[in-house]
Amino acid sequence: MTHNVEMCKCFSSLERIGTGSSSDVYSAIFTPLGTPVALKVFYKDEKYNKELYLKEIEILKCVNHPFIAQYYSCYETPHMSSIIMELGENGTLLNYMNKMKRITIIEIKKFFSQIASAIRYLHINKKIIHRDIKLENFILDKNMSIRLLDFGFSTRMAEKLDQSGTNCGSIDYSAPELFISPNLSYSSDIWSLGVTFYALAAGKMPFFAENSEKVVNEIINNEPIFPKFIPPDLIDLLLRMMDKDPATRITITDVCEHPFFKGSPLQYYISDSFRYEERTETVPKKEELFQMATDLGIVVKPMKCDIDMMRAAHNIMIKMKNMIKILKNEECLCNNEICILPKIKRRPVEKHLSSLSIVAHGLTATSPPFKKLPYSLLVKPMSTSRKKNMEV
């Protein structure tokens, strides 16, 4: 079904970049500041779920972390509800992995540290289970830093969970206990995080089969096979994260304290020393906004804005200040080694799609969960010769 998006005058250059089961995602320019943003649009049609929309806003409002896609504001029209949030200019992490032959250990440690930092914040500071951790739900900003997004299925541990339909994420990333028992815990996020880390390090998924039933069997009964180029300390970390028993699986605190991260300057991201400015729902006066923009070197385009758009402008500039601090820290910590990633020879996507292809349907920030779309439609079987070439 085609929808006409009702544009607020504060946005221009609208372009759809993703389609999900309950919403579409658009890139746009926030005209007052001339900055790119993402608009997650929920259409008020027969599929409209106001409860899902309000729940995601509630979660987004309570999280504030440099490596989580920033919520800026929201607005409604008679025909749609929209969430204004941070845009990942360099697309999804899955897109990036499918473009690269293999990423370097520097990139692996950078991505791991930033992702672990975001999950540590959710689990320890906010008591939130994300419930849909996967490569598609991480985007990259213009500086190739991570942002976690899509909190539509997220749950606070204090809430009573509706145990019907617990498997709400992608089957490839689901912990084995979720196929046996409906009980959710932080450990299910750690499993999904382990699968994500494995895919980043190995360039393929740890569990692969021709159909969903076989994938589930692989997840429950088999151990992942590790390529020879993965270092021993990283293998140990991944095995502990993908422990079949949730009771003995390591926690996010254990992940952050693992020897794989020891000695790396990027360990700063997963330490208590990591500081950043908090987003606020308080809207400053226009004069203060103009001064803030001047300090950041932004030329503001004067226009009449309601309080939601002023809040968006304020939060966009707070995010800018935080990212400037992070880039400066990275430059000091790593002598610019991390900020300017090493050049890696690219090769055509069709020549190196590994088993990551099985989740490459759509490659959007709001890819539908496997429950909403038959898994068989997501699977792209590999030829026998390709499969042999992937074996290590």
pLDDT of residue 279: 63
Count of Cβ atoms closer than 10 Å to residue 172 Cβ:
28
Tell whether the model's pLDDT for residue 341 goes beyond 60.
Answer: no
pLDDT of residue 37: 93
**CA-CA distance, 289 to 148, in Å (whole number)?**
27
pLDDT of residue 111: 94
Exposed (0-12), middle (13-18) or buried (19+): which is 363, by Cβ within 10 Å? middle
DSSP-based three-state secondary structure for 47:
coil
**CA-CA distance, 329 to 320, in Å (whole number)?**
14
First to last CA, the chain: 45
Task: Give the model confidence (pLDDT) of 157-213 as tens digits.
Answer: 866 555 434 556 789 999 999 988 767 789 999 999 999 999 999 999 999 888 889
Q: Say which residue, 153 or 380, is predicted with more confidence.
A: 153
Task: Give the model confidence (pLDDT) of 24-58 as tens digits.
Answer: 899 999 888 888 999 999 888 877 888 888 888 99
Tell whether the model's pLDDT for residue 154 goes beyond 70.
Answer: yes
Task: Give the model confidence (pLDDT) of 275-329 as tens digits.
Answer: 776 666 677 777 788 888 888 887 777 666 777 787 888 888 887 887 777 777 6
Pick the CATH number of 93-270+342-390 from 1.10.510.10, 3.30.70.1450, 1.10.3720.10, 3.40.190.10: 1.10.510.10
Task: Tell me which residues are annotated as active site.
Answer: 132
Tell whether the model's pLDDT for residue 357 goes beyond 70.
Answer: no
Q: How confident is the model at residue 3 (pLDDT cuts 50, 70, 90)?
A: low
pLDDT of residue 353: 28
Mean pLDDT of 327-343: 53
- Please give the sequence-ordered ranges of beta strands (E in DSSP) within the chain, or none if there are none: 11-19, 24-30, 35-43, 71-77, 80-85, 128-129, 138-140, 146-148, 155-156
DSSP-based three-state secondary structure for 236:
helix
DSSP-based three-state secondary structure for 159:
coil
Q: Say which residue, 7 or 112, is predicted with more confidence.
A: 112
Do residues 53 and 81 touch, judged by C-beta distance below 8 A? Answer: yes
DSSP-based three-state secondary structure for 83:
strand
The number of CA neighbours under 13 Å toward the Cβ of 268 is 16
CA dihedral (211, 214, 218, 221) in degrees, to 10, reads: 160
Q: What is the mean pLDDT of the chain?
A: 78
Mean pLDDT of 146-163: 78
Mean pLDDT of 6-30: 82
Do residues 134 and 378 touch, judged by C-beta distance below 8 A? Answer: no
The mean-pLDDT minimum among 294-298, 330-334, 386-390 falls in 386-390
**CA-CA distance, 100 to 220, in Å (whole number)?**
30
pLDDT of residue 174: 93
CA dihedral (360, 363, 367, 370) in degrees, to 10, reads: 0
Q: Say which residue, 379 or 83, is predicted with more confidence.
A: 83
Task: Give the model confidence (pLDDT) of 213-244 as tens digits.
Answer: 999 999 999 999 999 999 999 999 999 999 99
Query: How is the chain split into domains, by residue range?
Result: 93-270+342-390
